[in-house]
A and B are shown apart, each in its own frame.
Chain A
Amino acid sequence: MRDIRKPLIAAWLSACMVAMACPASAQGSDVGRLKAAIMLNVLRFVTVPGNGDANRPLRLCVERTIAAAPDFQQLDGRQIGERPINVRVAELASGAPGCDIAYVGARNAAEIARISQYGLLLVGDDSSFINAGGAVGLVRFGNQIRFEINAKAARQAGFVISSKLMRLAARVQL
């Protein structure tokens, strides 16, 4: 036992010496990337109302003024089943024509009502988002991002949300 312990300690001490000599690099935080990754997963668990063409690209529109917009743009070209995602960054304050899903950031009830339309899944920020009629809210708590679901809003938009997604949601509103 003792014969193996000495080399171990020696190796470890020398490793520590090396550690002191190596510069450490820094990194930045990124809420937007995490939100985009969660959005991609949410899309995997929702059934988008079909217009007959199962392979038609899924159109994800992202509000231009949101800081995370470039992160959402990274989803462009990703596949959901057979359907590729097309990301369009645009001004969505008055509506999101031609979109299947729209990420609109933090919005109040009046704005959500204005943007809402049949066949459009509205995704936004903050815990008030689903209370105000949005379908999926991305909510920050401390350093983590959760999502919440307003099942009624999703249903009214014609979307079917899988029970697995419901189970993983931090909060579900019927």
Chain B
Amino acid sequence: MKQISKVIALIVLGAILLGVFTGCTPNSTSPTSNGSESNATVQSASSETPAGPSASSDEWYGNADGTPITLKVWGGIQPEYGYDEAIANFNREFLDKGIQAEYVRYVNDPDGNLQVDTYLMSNGEIDVLVGYGAAPLLNRASSGQLLNITDLLAADGFDSEKELGKASMSSYWVDGDQIYGLPTIYSNNRWMMVNVDLFEAAGVPIPYNGWTYAEYLSAAEKLTSGEGPNRIYGGMWCFQQDMVQSLGVISSVLGQHGYYKDLDSTETNFDSEIWVKGMKMVKDSIDGGYAYGLDDEISESLTFANTFLEGKAAISLNISQLRLILDTETYPHEFKTALVPGPVPDESYMTDEYKYHTNYSGTNDLISIAKNSEHPEAGYQFLKWYLTGGMGPLAGYGRIPLWSGFDSNIITSVLADKDKAGILDLDSLDTYLNIDKSAALIRPAFKSYTEIEAILKEEFQNILLGQTSIEQGLASAKSRSDALLA
């Protein structure tokens, strides 16, 4: 009996130990489509048979045994917004070169980016990454997570300044002129979206060619109607989703310097009258009851989707959400949307230089190759293919390709084709796509930019929530920021 007990005890012990060790075994697979375990989802590679190294193609990036390699491409956009189609196209086109790709979607929030950083550190888990914003790119580049592709581009004869624009590239240079990521889309977040039906019903002219702060406030007031939960607001600033956009509209007329008085980053310009005027315009729109306040956004969990797309706001920032406009299945609506530039302080700024916000390059979706990728050459093939036309299917979902070789008429026609219900003002889209991009300013790498932007956001939040006055908030932002620059 005792013997049996011992045997049972040893079996139980063995099972526990096995459990402990299997629990410690690293997961050899990528994040799967099981959303409960990971916030990344996968679009698989093709299952067709590759041609092998002996095929007609003289380029072979696959394995020596004739099987293709599979690139893991990570991006923050849902696969159904064009990525599934683009990846399928790539897999067809590159099968005889031994490259297949699978798309893994991550959520572009702090948790999702942490997941990306963790995977970037491990070998081969990410080959190609599409990231968002300059700060994560610069951070990942300086910490050695991304591959320096300057030489690869040069060897291939790809002139990024010519193909994508010098101003577009300037925000993403590392250590002077080194390239770790290329912007792929044009997304000028100084532009707004307006509900054409509400404008027409209120008899307010649509500001296709720009407007002043006073005109914005007047329009927002006229567009506001109703009370309580049924109130329709003139404006939605989308502070919670990205406060930098509203700050960008204000700073746009400050030109190349942005938050600084000079290009040498010796002092911030938060004592400029422009900042006072801009913040006053935003605050007036909220205090007058014509725009959702930050407190409304927080307490009601308001987003672009549950305000503008539900017809509860007539004007909204957040041009990056353009893709949601045409997704009437998820966001059913019948009103027409037009794109208009954000307002400028007064008539003196209603010039070509400022009223369309052409001085801002407005780019995003940065494509990079992971430093730890086992297939950097194949990754470069994908990068170049994607950038120079492969990302075309995404255009139908509002992600406008930046590459100069991409015909903007094709984008308009693709979107027109998608827009069967006629809910997008295509003329305004045409204006947005064809503004003079050569006027975009080259922005050097300013000192302590990320920290200063964080300070400005913090003080702006205090102003919006009535914790401090505009003047006090800006004075505090200036003294705190200048201390960093000293």
Q: Say whether A associates with B.
A: no
Task: Write the residues of chain A forming the contact surface with B, with a CB cutoff of 8 angstroms.
Answer: none
